Chains A and B, each alone.
Chain A
Amino acid sequence: MRDITLGQYINGDSVIHRLDPRIRLILTLVYIILLFILKTIPQMLLALALILGAYALVRIPVKMLLKSLKPIIPIVVFTSVLNMFFVNGDVIFSFWKLSVTRQGLYYAVMLSLRVICLLAGSSLLTYTSTPIELTSALELLFMPLTKIGLPVNDLAMMMTIALRFIPTLLEETDKIMAAQKSRGANLDTGTFMERIRALTPILIPLFVSAFRRADELALAMECRCYNGGEGRTRMNALKIRRSDCIAVVVFIGFCSLIVLSGRISL
């Protein structure tokens, strides 16, 4: 458990890696919106080509992408099959009480493509951004909301600390589990309910220790003059550069072309 990677960041130096994380985040959102605007399969295929192009830029092997798609295949298949059978329209073939319609088939393909693109798009964001980058991007993007009283700085700090302590607490869980096992705790066998109950002696020490850590951390932060976000500066302040603007223009251009291509074929 010690080697767990936070998120799925892949170290690299591609054009996309070098973008401001805010831009990466916004472009991902734009892409997701695009996926929900598109109505036809050819357009969807273009959208898929767009994201695959981005993967090529980052030089992430397709194998990796396929691996991240794996867990959602059952869901895609399941919903596609349901759609195939339950959308009314021109029947292509039928057996028993079920019939497959042309519209159903179309819809199923659309849906599968959309889900695949969604996952590929959002994965690209996490492949190319460290959790820290994402946190500071979110912090800056939500900064205007401090005016209506949302404690954006504090929330970002909480997120950073959560990320920082995930590996520490995982390690601790390992230790507690080993300690309880060495005293005869049975964690791996028994009915579902028994196993859930067996978690109590792990969770309670874990919580106690987490609170103790939180206490000490708060003290250490106070000693280092932390008093909320006010007047804080950042060492690695994010800056929008020209390359970021170019990326936005190019990406939005592609998206518009894809949307427009639907109009032409109509």
Chain B
Amino acid sequence: MSNLIRFDNVSFSYGSNRVLEGIDLEIREGEFLAVLGYNGSGKSTMAKLINGILLPTEGKVYVDGMDTSDETKLADIRKTAGMVFQNPDNQIVATIVEEDVAFAPENLGIDPAEIRIRVDDAIKAVGLEKHVKDAPHKLSGGQKQRVAIAGVLAMQPRCIILDEPTAMLDPKGRSLVMGVIERLNREKGITIVLITHFMEEAARADRIVILSEGKVAENGSPKEVFSKKERMISLGLEVPPVTDLTLRLIDNGIDLRKDIIKPEELVDALLEIKETTD
């Protein structure tokens, strides 16, 4: 698969405050990438560099070969890489769900009939068919966040960057939003860059990048990254609860693999042990 997004020795500073330093990173088309890091590690800055909201102080960011500092390409870049933010309330523009989803294609000057099709598709993809005509303020947090995702989806982007999309949601909203994100990645092949604080969300990604002090501290599959518990803790993070549990079980003499990161994996492993002892 080809590279959709490329960070080429990127540094970024707010004034004299250096947030990112010498980032080299490639994100493949169709990949599901999770970005972790403690608060202030530069995660959000990295996200904003991708679609040209911020421009690198040094180095270059390329989206589908387009340089984000090239102003003539800005609309194309933002159409290719859509962005969803943390607070759903602050990214919904219109007073009716379908009008909001139509906002981006309207901005792009797309034909009304085509907008209609895109809006219906996007709303279906996030499972909000029943709320097409509702006012956003009557929806729950998880529903609002799905409206925001649909609003980006209507641009038909090849990549969606989500900046802590579940941070303000309750558990039910969180799992629904994560479900939508995973489905978009698997079924529509949309590249996902998920910035998150939740290790169990990151465990669902293809690859994890950990930022620390503005640099890429770890870059690997969830199994590789989460099997290094001490390293995670030294980076101000933790391992997913199920990994933590597995490690404790191992400490207590139960024979398990160290790289268990999803609940279903632990269940399978334990069932296997049960069968052999029966």
Q: A224-B103, A233-B115, A235-B116 are in contact. Are A132 and B85 (CB under 8 A)?
A: no
- A232 contact from B90, B106, B111, Cβ within 8 A: B106
- Chain A residues in 8 Å Cβ range of B152: 223-224
- Size of the B side of the interface (Cβ < 8 Å), in residues, is 40
Cβ contacts A139-173/B at 8 Å (1 or 0 each)? 00000000000000000000011011001100100
Main secondary structure of the interface of B (DSSP, over half): helix
Contact B85 A220 (CB under 8 A): yes
| A227 CB within 8 Å of chain B | yes
| A216 CB within 8 Å of chain B | yes
User: Which residue of A has the minimal Cβ distance to B137?
Assistant: A167
Q: A222-B53, A224-B152 are in contact. Are A213 and B112 (CB under 8 A)?
A: no
Cβ contacts B58-100/A at 8 Å (1 or 0 each)? 0000000000000000010011001101010111111110110
Q: A219-B85, A222-B53, A224-B82 are in contact. Are A164 and B94 (CB under 8 A)?
A: yes
Contact B95 A213 (CB under 8 A): no
Cβ contacts B108-145/A at 8 Å (1 or 0 each)? 11111001100100000000000000011100000000
Contact B107 A232 (CB under 8 A): yes
Q: A226-B103, A231-B109 are in contact. Are A217 and B155 (CB under 8 A)?
A: no
| B208 CB within 8 Å of chain A | no
Cβ contacts A114-139/B at 8 Å (1 or 0 each)? 00000000000000001110000000
| A237 CB within 8 Å of chain B | yes
Contact A132 B89 (CB under 8 A): no
Cβ contacts A204-224/B at 8 Å (1 or 0 each)? 000000000100110111111
| A6 CB within 8 Å of chain B | yes
| B151 CB within 8 Å of chain A | yes
- Chain B residues in 8 Å Cβ range of A227: 75, 107
| B191 CB within 8 Å of chain A | no
Q: Whole-angstrom distance between the alpha carbons of A235 and B119 in the complex?
A: 9
Contact A132 B94 (CB under 8 A): yes
| A234 CB within 8 Å of chain B | yes
Using a CB-CB cutoff of 8 Å, which residues 4-35 of chain B contact chain A?
Answer: none
Measured CB to CB, the closest approach of chain B to A120, in angstroms, equals 26
Contact A171 B137 (CB under 8 A): yes
Measured CB to CB, the closest approach of chain B to A43, in angstroms, equals 40
| A225 CB within 8 Å of chain B | yes
Q: 11 extra interchain contacts, Cβ-Cβ under 8 A, other than A223-B82, A225-B155?
A: A164-B137, A216-B91, A219-B53, A220-B85, A221-B103, A223-B83, A224-B107, A227-B75, A231-B109, A235-B99, A235-B105
List 9 A-B residue pairs with CB atoms under 8 Å apart, sorted by A's residue number.
Answer: A6-B95, A130-B95, A160-B94, A164-B137, A216-B85, A224-B78, A224-B104, A232-B107, A237-B112
Q: Which A residues have a C-beta under 8 Å from some C-beta of B?
A: 6, 130-132, 160-161, 163-164, 167-168, 171, 213, 216-217, 219-227, 231-237
8 interchain residue pairs of minimum CB distance: A220-B91, A216-B90, A224-B104, A235-B102, A167-B137, A231-B109, A223-B83, A235-B115
